[in-house]
Structure 1
Amino acid sequence: MTHAKRRPVLAMTTSLKGGTGKSFYASVLLDVLRHRQVPVAAFDADGAIGALSAMHAARDAAGRLRDPQSPGHGVVAYNIRDDSRTTLIDSLGCPEPLILHDLAGGSLADLQRLFDDRDGLHNFLRAAERLGITLVFFHMITPDRGSVESLAIHMELSAPYRDSALDIRHVAILNRRAAPRDADFPVWFGDRDPAGVPFGGKTRARFLEEGGIETSLPAIEARTAELVKRLQIPWRQAVRDPRLQLTDQQRVLNFLEQFETQMPGGLRDLAGLPA
């Protein structure tokens, strides 16, 4: 498959709440794509303070952020909360076949403001349909019920377009950094309460039935991850950065390799990675 023949993909990390690991996931995904030389345009909707921009924005030899940023080689920052939110749609003019936006937590209302949709995403989805793109929503799943409810709401809003020409994909990413076992996600996988009454699991069953893609964000030692974020460098660069101890460098390499190995075929295809 050549990049020129691929249907354009607009991929967004999204959640109704913050702190689920969206930006962390976006930073690793962008790192893997660029390491594999997949053409990708990157945007950070959390403004200049966004984590994706901090780690992947292009810098000069002195470490200063370049201005302006090229979305194909750096990260363009904008604020989904203000009028610059139109960058989300206008970015579809980029030549790269894959466009990645790291949306701030709780951005659903801001997506609705793009075209004054007060209680849905109708006009946003219509624009995507007219432009012939594939929409991909990345949802971080944590042990918290709110993360599962967020995915369910996004699926409900896109449900009217399920049988249309618009191609909408939902990807659930289990955040295993703090919750490594399936049993740590009772709302997602389903469980029983102390009285033996079953709960959870329905959203996942519907998600899989409708063709959703399930994957994981592997665990990485918290101290190592924090050191890399403080250096504000891409993950792959951290593998060889002399400011990190060799143990930390190897942990990052192991993490990146595990991340890529765990990517399911459907997600690899959407991202333009070889199977």
Structure 2
Amino acid sequence: MANTNAAKKEALASTFIHATTASDKGGVGKSFWDRFKIEFLRKLGKEVAAYDTDGGTGSLARILGQRDQNGELLPPEDQDPLIGVKSFNIRKQRTRDEFLNTAALPASIVQLDLPGGGFDAISEIADGGGESLLGVFQAVIDEGRTAVIDHVIHHEDESTESVARYLDATEGLPVIHCAILNMRDADSKADFEMWFGYIDENGEKIGGRTRERLLAAGGFEIIMPKLASGAASRIKRYSLTFEAAGEDRRLTVAQRAQVKRWHQDMTKTIIDCKPFRKLYDI
């Protein structure tokens, strides 16, 4: 464990990154997080190769993908991952190897958005299925990249269980685990009961162990603030970046104000997160 943590500290100084956004539970906000992260890093001038692994149907590809002069989304084969978003289907055997092949790209940051249940698909690449991901993430590391897993966590139990599964599957490797707590459907951090833990009616602590494991392994947390649902829906409907949405008049005055406030709060959250800044050399 000491050697693994030392390797993670060294990795936190790296900007040659292979980052996977994951949760076995669908609908927790993985693409929402990726859209902000990619937009934020690219605005800073970071070289980010972006991949949507949901076969081109995901919101990441639709919103950040390149478009032609008529505003039509370019097909996956014409997308430049450094400008838009390249797509492939992680669930199909003939295309899922692309997940690992992206580690050989010259881009300093590779960001991949996994669909719900993506664990089972990537475990087939180099680990023969089952509950290990040692082969696939060791291959990423062997390419000279820091392996990062962004775990988007919802207040429901299944997303916390997903984090535990990935921790088990990569144990012993210097993988950086980042937990993003999505406040979309929560009123406070206390709603994430299985993540933070709580005391039951018998005075026993329930939950909290997965968070303890992640932090003990050198991981860190980011709180993603709540965006008003109406504003979030229009951003998605019109395929807008967060920055553009704050000025787009297809949103109401209130919605534009809500987006601007959310974007300011989210940016401050990232800037205030020292491990994130160090990892991405900000």
Structure-1-length-normalised TM-score: 0.91
Do residues 261 (structure 1) and 252 (structure 2) align?
A: no
Distance 2:256 2:69 in 1: 22
The CA deviation string for residues 170-223 of structure 1, in whole angstroms up to 9 with x for no partner, is 001111111131211111111122343321111111211221111111111000
Q: Secondary structure at the match of 1:159?
A: coil
Given candidates 71, 85, 103, the residue that maps to 1:75 is 85
Tell me the equivalent position of 2:259: 252
What corresponds to 1:18 in structure 2?
26
SS at match of 2:28: coil
Work out whether 1:149 is the aligned partner of 2:161: yes
CA distance in 2, matches of 1:216, 1:94: 30
Residue of structure 1 in register with 2:68 after alignment:
60
Aligned runs of 1:25-40 on 2, under 5 Å? Answer: 25-40=33-48
* Alignment: residue pair count: 264
Within 2, Cα distance between the matches of 1:206 and 1:13? 19
1:93 counterpart residue number: 104
Cα pair 1:111 1:124 within 8 Å, conserved: yes
Question: Residues 7 and 132 of structure 1 are in contact (CA less than 8 Å); yes or no, is this contact kept in structure 2?
Answer: no
**Matched letter for residue 131 of structure 1:** E
CA drift at 1:271:
2.8
SS at match of 1:104: coil
Aligned partners of 2:166 and 2:176: how far apart in 1?
11
> Which of 223, 228, 248 is matched with 2:235 structurally?
228
Could you tell me which of 200, 211, 225 is aligned with 1:218? 225
Determine helix, strand or coil for the equivalent of 1:48.
coil
User: Is it true that 1:132 corresponds to 2:144 in the alignment?
Assistant: yes
1:209 is aligned with what amino acid? A
Give the partner amino acid of 1:169.
I
Aligned counterparts of 1:172 and 1:98: Cα–Cα separation in 2? 19
Is contact 1:43-1:76 (8 Å) kept? yes
Deviations 1:2-61 (CA, angstroms, capped at 9, x unpaired): xxx944101111111211111111111112112222211100001121110111001123
- In the aligned structure 1, how far is the partner of 2:163 from the partner of 2:266? 22
Alignment of 1:41 onto 2:41: no
CA distance in 2 between counterparts of 1:122 and 1:154 reads 10
Q: Distance in 1 between matches of 2:268 and 2:204?
A: 36
1:50 aligns with 2:89: no
CA deviation after TM superposition for structure 1 residue 248, in Å: 1.6
1:254 shift after superposition: 1.4
Given candidates 187, 190, 199, the residue that maps to 2:194 is 187
2:185 counterpart (178, 182, 187): 178
CA distance in 2, matches of 1:69, 1:93: 18
> Does the 8 Å CA contact 1:32/1:256 hold for their aligned counterparts?
no
Q: 198-207 or 103-112, which moves further after superposition? A: 198-207
Kept after mapping to 2: 8 A contact 1:117/1:123: no
Give CA-to-partner distance per residue, 1:142-170, whole Å, 9 cap, x none: 22111111101111111122xxxxx3100
Distance 1:208 1:122 in 2: 20
Q: Which amino acid aligns with 1:94?
A: L
- 2:6 maps to what in 1? none
Matches within 5 A, 1:114-129: 114-119=125-130, 120-129=132-141
Q: Which amino acid letter does the alignment assign opposite residue 86 of structure 2?
A: V
Corresponding residue SS for 1:160: coil
Partners of 2:172 and 2:121 lie apart in 1 by 20
Distance 1:177 1:266, change over 3 A: same
Q: CA deviation at 1:111?
A: 0.6
Aligned counterparts of 1:64 and 1:144: Cα–Cα separation in 2: 37
